[in-house]
Chain A
Amino acid sequence: MANSPEVVTQKYTAKDFTSDQDVRWCPGCGDYSILAQVQRTFPDLIQTNKEKIVWVSGIGCSSRFPYYMNTYGFHGIHGRAAIIATGVKVANPDLSVWVATGDGDLLSIGGNHFIHACRKNVDLKVLLFNNRIYGLTKGQYSPTSEKGKVTKTTPFGSVDYPFNPLSLALGSDATFVARSIDRNPKHMQEMIRRIGQHKGFALLEIFQNCNIFNDGAFELLTEKETKDDHVLVLEHGKPMVFGKNQDKGIKLDGAHPIVVDISNGKYSKDDLWVHDEFSDAPVHAMILAHLDDRPDLPSPIGVFRQVIKETYDEGIKNQIDKIIEKKGKGDLEKVLFGSNTWEVA
């Protein structure tokens, strides 16, 4: 959001972004944390003209989000958040358009819209509340549930493989791909700031605990005793170090990531893979996205990749401007009368 010099307003506070609606998520739901971090971060990110913020969502617990934000909001239909948001953004590129969505909403019924929004690089900021379950419909497995998941509709365990949302986004050429965790407020705030500053299609996957239907799904990544050994915090330009005592690191062996011990003198930080958010090659981010596939590797959080290129909404606007410059503004009378006319006197 551009800070226009002639408008001197008081800085917004979290309260300015809080609507008068009662928040109705289950007590203990990870969604509360996401809402809180957004409301806390927005005053830094949005210093003027909060009327330009629009939140769009689909259907699901997570998709109630827009009702709780005191901004313009559109609670859509299941799966269509990203494409409704595309319409908003293309119609008025001056708006800052945010999407709140769930794993079912974005990746199951809305999968097609998702990949196309990535591909087109629509300037949207998408917060994916990934709880690996269908919350609102009370606990069926979702396209991010792990294989073998036992739920109401898979009493003997699911037989299908899950989507990896980040790899899907990277494969579809999203220009900003990041991840955070509901139980890590500081990190999430940082990621919200980053996504807010990106121009282009941006996905922030947030591991979100559904304490009613999939409690503990991310326990290893959030519990005090285990989290340091299972989470890798990505920082641009820094070697990939993790572990309770910062004693482990990721080394790249060709295209294969391996965990090495940097405490015993055999390897040092200099041997480790250095994270480059802006890498031209998408393969590095892709390898990072797939660390999750292997239980011996940690789950990365942070910005996986960021690239800058013309956005879809800009492209449409620029094309229109260029054609108007070339042909002049359209003259309706001329178009109606066309070229092949005759007169009846």
Chain B
Amino acid sequence: MSEIKEKEFRVVTNVTVRFAGDSGDGMQLTGSQFSDTTAWIGNDLNTLPDYPAEIRAPAGTIYGVSGFQLSFGSEDVNTPGDLPDVLVAMNPAALRKNLKELKNGGVLIVNSDAFDQKNLKLANFESNPLEDDSLSGYELHQVPISSLTANALEGLPLSPKEVARCKNFFALGLMYWLYDRPLKNTEDWIKDKFKNKPEYVEANTKALQAGHKFGEMTEIFTTRYKVEAAKLPKGIYRNISGNEATALGFLTASVKSGLPLFLGSYPITPASEILQYLSSYKNFGVKTVQAEDEIAGITSAIGAAFAGNLALTTTSGPGLSLKTEAIGLAVMTELPLVIVNVQRGGPSTGLPTKTEQADLLQAMYGRNGEAPVCVLAARTPRDCFYMAVEASRIALKYMTPVILLTDGYLGNGSEPWRIPHVNELPDISVKFRTDPERFYPYLRNDNLARPWAIPGTPGLEHRIGGLEKADVYGTVNYDPENHDRMVKLRTEKVKRIANDIPDLEVDGDEKGDLLVLGWGGTYGSIKDAVNKARKSGLRVSQAHLRYLNPMPKNTGQVLKNFKKILIPEINLGQLAHLIRSEYLIQVEQLNVVRGLPLKVNDILEKINSLLGGGNGK
């Protein structure tokens, strides 16, 4: 390399990058490091980790490819981006799997060292795409990442295998250079992560720095990009994933209510992280029971609720199926309990590592008998925090099970979060019953909640259980009139929660041609699509349900103000079904069930077609 040429800086407002490589290549780490640094320098961002269900598929295979996409920008970023502008492919399989998604003319950075005969064959390439002209539609940069990493680490006491493992940091360093990000954050992370392995600290730091230096020295790259900090509201921020936000929400509810938190759970992707996070908060008195199965997870939580703890169980799809009977028990015993379902692709084992929203009807109805539960859904990774607090508040106030729905995309995805101070958050006051005077286990208050009288309280000894109980007195009762009354009371209790939740907000005009109504993790995609449609002059608004049972009281009114309603969902129309049957109105659907977030463009096209082909003003 001769003289270093001055590189041109181009300012862009939004970029979508996808890192892809073998599951052993450390792509999730590279992606999350890039995200953390990007958040730290003030960009807004949104991420989509996309990894295979297999832990370490054989190297070089297409099914072993792991990816991490993120979108970042100087303006609001609501989704991880439909299609990447930049693809970093660590081997031919990663290229094969991801190329079709790369935007035309997009930047393609490949580890050219990995394009040998064996890998090309594993990825079904008949000829080397780096040598034929099949990649001419992209801005291709061939970087011998493996050998450059090896050069940079020469002389360090590492095996060739260990050296090879550092190449993701080289790639990361190069991307930091390309998008003008500092190395410091990652350098600190490396130091902390390998504190007991100084040789790894040195190697990974060197690889990172070598990648950065390479960008500067090489002539391959003539342009660098600048993405200015986003104009976010004032405050202290951190980057947070939905699962961590969920865990923190429950921890907060525990502190705010003064009740010890009890979590009974069985590991399952993509929900395990909530159990993992909460297991680390022992100094808050959090009790985590890793149970023998999901049934044990929820039933131990029911026991803990009876004994006076803030009780929680966390799971994903198949686990929720197993908890079904026990949720009915919690309905019958009218105990406070929160059930978190981080939804994944189903049915059955389905797509364990992919996202979906197909458990809504299960959450609403999936039990024997009339068994109403409150159902909430978070809409962004950071919203998981607030909905976890809210789920706890409702469960405790109304003595009811609450199902909180998040999903794989929300759980694993991350975004910047303006951290609230503890005193900004709502108080959750809980009063146990202690007075034996006129105590009856099913004597209800104004909210129809029964008293919470916990074992250990003198004079309040009583029995509850799954058999129908006499109104007020709580003794076993098979009387037909009593059952009819209790079925209706339990339902009415959940209905009345509507008096205690915020109205459904409309983003945009309150009246118009089209309302795009959604729930859960599709919020960002819908928001971007609606914004774009509005910019093109269409009269479109957005509303997003975070409370699904009961729905906000004004929901019917909101819907009436629009000529058409569109409900996009990652299922075959479950919210659409609920809305039709509850409000007796026509709704349009958009249903794409690919295990991935909805594409902004798909929603936009649907909006355009509903409003007459792009200019239905």
Contacts and interface: CB of A to CB of B under 8 A. Distances in A.
Most buried by A among B185, B282, B307: B307
Interface of A: 19, 21, 49-54, 56-57, 59, 66-67, 69-77, 80, 83-92, 94-95, 112-113, 116, 316, 319-320, 323-324, 327-330, 332-333, 335-338, 340-345
A337 B463 contact: no
B250 to A, nearest CB: 12
A83 B300 contact: yes
A330 B303 CA distance: 25
A80 B302 CA distance: 11
Nearest to B385: A336
A288 to B, nearest CB: 28
Given A333-B421, A340-B238, A85 B303 contact: yes
B465 A74 contact: yes
Contact of B463 (A59, A66, A87, A90): A66
A88 B307 CA distance: 5
B459 A51 contact: yes
B476 A320 contact: no
Given A54-B455, A83-B292, A342-B237, 13 more contacts: A53-B455, A54-B307, A57-B465, A73-B461, A83-B291, A84-B302, A87-B262, A90-B287, A91-B307, A92-B308, A320-B282, A329-B284, A335-B281
Contacts of B300: 83-84, 86-87, 90
Interface in B303-346: 303-309, 311, 325-326, 328-329, 333
Contact of A343 (B236, B456, B476): B236
A119 to B, nearest CB: 9
Interface in B275-304: 281-287, 289, 291-293, 295-296, 299-304
Nearest to B462: A72
B471 to A, nearest CB: 17
B36 interface: yes
A54 B311 CA distance: 18
Given A74-B306, A342-B237, A337 B419 contact: yes
Contacts, number: 206
Interface of B: 36, 39-42, 185, 229, 232-239, 248, 251-252, 255, 260, 262, 264, 281-287, 289, 291-293, 295-296, 299-309, 311, 325-326, 328-329, 333, 418-422, 454-467, 475-476
Contacts of B233: 344
Contacts of B284: 329-330, 332, 335
Given A74-B306, A91-B260, A336 B295 contact: no
Contact of B295 (A74, A80, A94, A316): A80
30 contacts: A50-B461, A51-B461, A66-B463, A67-B463, A73-B463, A74-B333, A75-B467, A77-B326, A83-B295, A83-B299, A83-B300, A84-B302, A87-B307, A88-B455, A90-B300, A91-B304, A91-B309, A112-B293, A320-B282, A324-B282, A330-B283, A330-B285, A332-B284, A336-B252, A340-B239, A342-B40, A342-B238, A344-B42, A344-B229, A345-B234
A341 B467 CA distance: 51
Contacts of B281: 330, 335
A246 to B, nearest CB: 45
Contact of A87 (B248, B252, B304): B304
A333 B424 CA distance: 11
B460 A340 contact: no
B299 A71 contact: no
Contact of A336 (B291, B293, B299, B420): B420
A106 to B, nearest CB: 14
A301 B281 CA distance: 46
B465 A323 contact: no
A150 to B, nearest CB: 31
A86 B289 contact: yes
A182 B460 CA distance: 31
